[in-house]
């Protein structure tokens, strides 16, 4: 019994230390939350601006803004391949086909426009070629 009483203060100290450590961890997490939210908001804003710019390009080939926006969103989540060609200094981005031929036609026209703008990869300087496959 006396041994248990002797251990009680050290057990109490361990519990208090673990509680204070938990509070510190929580406060660190809370203090970093505004930074995470700011980063998340920045990424969302950049994605929205890219979407708006792409919708502007798509409107040349698709008259209805709502449908153009839906196609751009579909394009952003569609699968594709990136094929580098060091000999020709090109980077081919191959986007897989959409659900309908009408969507394919509009997306292919948009990708052709992007290819004609002759974008270059920032780090390698490779010419970017966009294709619908």
pTM of the model: 0.64
- Per-residue confidence (pLDDT) for residue 11, from 0 to 100: 57
Per-residue pLDDT of the chain (133 residues; tens, 9 = 90+): 454 455 555 555 555 555 544 444 544 454 568 888 899 999 999 988 988 988 988 888 877 888 889 888 888 888 999 999 999 999 999 999 988 888 889 899 999 999 999 999 999 999 999 999 9
CA separation, residue 126 to residues 92, 93, 121 (Å):
9, 12, 5
Cβ proximity of 95 and 111 under 8 Å: yes
- Per-residue confidence (pLDDT) for residue 28, from 0 to 100: 46
Cα 102 from Cα 121, distance rounded (Å): 30
């Amino acid at each position: 019994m006396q041994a248990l009483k002797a251990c009680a203060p050290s057990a109490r100290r361990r519990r208090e230390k673990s509680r204070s450590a938990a509070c510190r961890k929580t406060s660190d997490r809370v203090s970093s939350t505004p930074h995470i939210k700011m980063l998340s908001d920045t990424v969302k804003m950049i994605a929205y601006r890219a979407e708006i710019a792409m919708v502007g390009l798509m409107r040349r080939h698709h008259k209805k803004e709502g449908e153009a926006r839906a196609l751009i969103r579909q394009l952003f989540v569609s699968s594709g391949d990136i094929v580098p060609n060091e000999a020709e200094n090109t980077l081919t981005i191959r986007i897989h086909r959409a659900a309908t031929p009408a969507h394919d036609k509009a997306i292919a026209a948009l990708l052709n426009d992007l290819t004609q703008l002759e974008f270059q990869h920032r780090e390698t300087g490779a010419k970017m070629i966009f294709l619908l496959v």
